[in-house]
Structure 1
């Protein structure tokens, strides 16, 4: 790691919404002091191809460091690996369940387990609807462990004109949780003329 850079672990799993992980990597790349460490699951790679026509190698090129999801002995698997935390974008219900129950069976779930045990920030951009009771209980368990469940629900107060604008707003909000400012619209309050009489 270059001195003075903040490491951010990014996991991309097999839920729909691969664009969230890609736009997050692209946004973080614009911040000079952020170093991204990427792990893509097999299903995540399939979704990148299916939803975005992007190969695994094309997405790998967007990160500073890439780790194999099967490399359970990677640096990310140890608490001695210093990082600002981890984002899973998107986060499948399978990955959520594994994290909620401490099943560190691949590098994404192990890295998340390490982030939680070291009391660092873990943000899961969960993608599913509607939620069943197992999903809700797993989200509660992760929240009780200190993780943040962040379904990427779009905001409309900034009047987005495209899917990319909606995605980028969610990505900016997630990065805010790590004190990484990538710009974008922020709520400025209602103008006096907009207040109800």
Structure 2
């Protein structure tokens, strides 16, 4: 697969792990290769929200993504020597979905003490697309200040906020809308939701 088709996806301990899982599925279906990062808290949320068996992490990924799993490279969060920790390793962008406030803070402060924060730091220093999907409510001033700081550095902030103009009928519709907005921001074609002005079936 062409090296320009590689994306990094991070899943953290914020509620909404299904967003990250669906994003990985959409990228794989579009023919891209995914470098997957899951924080320790992210694994806990996958267990609590999606019933993933997390004691054997590689097996859990293979079970979740089936025949597409060979197009995923999973990196343990503490592997700071991984390929994606270096700016010389080319990827088209990184999405952290969902992003906890702890991870958001670490990135905003440049605290690259694990692979998630380091990979995000690489995106910024190499001027590559970085999208953060924060999932927290309510937000206090520190959360907002960290988002503003990153936004001023060119990071795209896409909060996990559903829309209803396309008349979603299922929870999947709502999940797909947010994943679609992320793909739009990465300029990746998809058919995950009905756009404004298009016919609603």
TM-score (norm 2): 0.89
Which residue pairs with 2:61 in the alignment?
60
Q: 1:82 aligns with which of 48, 68, 90?
A: 90
Which residue pairs with 1:30 in the alignment?
29
Q: 1:104 aligns with which of 100, 112, 115?
A: 112
**Contiguous gaps of at least 5 residues in structure 2:** none
Which residue pairs with 1:120 in the alignment?
128
Aligned length: 189
Contact 2:35–2:73 (CA under 8 A) maintained in structure 1: yes
Which residue pairs with 1:188 in the alignment?
197
CA deviation profile, 1:129-173 (whole Å, cap 9, x unmatched): 111000000001111111011111001011101111101111011
Q: CA RMSD of the aligned region, Å?
A: 1.7
TM-score (norm 1): 0.91
- CA apart distance, 1:58: 5.4
**Alignment partners' CA distance in 2, 1:4 and 1:82:** 7
Which residue pairs with 1:179 in the alignment?
187
**Alignment partners' CA distance in 1, 2:4 and 2:152:** 29
**Which entry has the higher C-alpha Rg, 1 or 2?**
1
**Alignment partners' CA distance in 1, 2:59 and 2:100:** 22
- CA apart distance, 1:189: 6.9
Query: Structure 1 residue runs of 4+, over 4 Å off?
Result: none
**Contiguous gaps of at least 5 residues in structure 1:** 191-197
**Alignment partners' CA distance in 2, 1:173 and 1:135:** 22
Contact 1:5–1:35 (CA under 8 A) maintained in structure 2: no
1:35 to 1:69, Cα distance in 2 relative to 1, 3 A? same
Question: What secondary structure sits across from 2:151 in the alignment?
Answer: helix
CA deviation profile, 1:27-70 (whole Å, cap 9, x unmatched): 111112x1111010000000000001023445523352111111
